[in-house]
Amino acid sequence: MSQRQITFEILRYDPETESEPRFQAYCVPCEEEWVVLDALNYIKDNLDGTLSYRWSCHMAVCGSCGMMINGEPMLSCKAFVRDFPNGGSIRVEPLTHFPIERDLVVVMDDFMDKLQAVKPYVIPKKKRTVEDGTYKQTPKQLHQYQQYSMCINCMLCYAACPQYALAPDFIGPAALALTHRYNLDSRDHGRPQRQEVVAAHEGVWECSFVGACSEVCPKDVDPAGAIQQMKIASTVDWYLEHLMPWRRK
């Protein structure tokens, strides 16, 4: 097993005691198969116990460890140190476009509010009881929305989205991809309710289709695709509502 010394420049910030963020360098003996999260754990355990960051599963499932690594939004558990240029240092910062809670931990409130606004859960046509039994779904019906259900709420897409940076009211990629996921679900009839948010200016229309969200998504969800599909559906709605006003509810 080969080992190499890598310098990590890590953003440190405690809003309660410091006026602005600063960078602190740590030299870490990294193993070949390490990811950036391993190096952070090494720092926390051996060099500086005061470093704060979120993580849990270490296997790209929980979505907790999203960070800016050399300026790119990435899951630190998926960012292998061997993939970074030899001899160079690795810069680690909290996800951009979010306020910093402390060090690499960001305040997620805005995302959580937006996620709730789009009602990301199955809204059935009429309430089912346990006696009614389970929902049946064909593999084809599952396939309709499965890709969009892979979202782990890691927020890398929000850090990548230039539109979210410019217009913080924008509902944003992940919440919209999840909206699409439930709209496409055969068990769900909640689309009219979600449309109140989706068809608003802050909904799909704030997106200018840069596509960075889909590029950085660690689960290949393709939020950009979901948003464009919802733009088409919302446009059809708009024309139907205005050309056939009697359809309006």
Partner 1 sequence: MAKSNKPIVWGLFAAGGTVAAFVIPVMILITGFLLPLGLFGSGEASYERMSEIVGNPLVKIVLFGIIVLALWHAAHRLRITAHDFGIRNDALVARGVYGFAALFSLIALMALLSI
Q: Which residues bind partner 1 (CB under 8 A)?
A: 162, 195-197, 199-203, 205, 208-210, 231-232, 234-235, 237-239
Comparison of 54 and 97: residue with beta carbon closer to partner 1: 97
> Min. distance of Cβ 237 from partner 1 in angstroms?
8
Q: Are 188 and 143 in contact (CB under 8 A)?
A: no
- Please state the closest distance from residue 80 (CB atom) to partner 1, in A: 32
Per the rule left: phi > 0, alpha: psi between -120 and 50, beta: everything else, 246 is: alpha
Q: Which is nearer to partner 1, 60 or 233 (CB)?
A: 233
Q: How far apart are CA 40 and CA 26, in angstroms?
A: 10
In the complex with partner 1, which residue's Cβ is closer, 88 or 162?
162
Q: Which is nearer to partner 1, 42 or 205 (CB)?
A: 205
Q: Any idea what the Cα angle at residue 52 is, between residues 78 and 112, rounded to 5°?
A: 75
Least CB distance to partner 1 at residue 173 (A):
17
CA dihedral 61, 57, 32, 106 (to 10 degrees): 90
The answer to whether 230 touches 200, Cβ cutoff 8 Å, is no
3-state secondary structure of 35: strand
In angstroms, the CA 132 to CA 28 distance is 58
Is 56 or 116 the residue whose CB approaches partner 1 more closely?
116
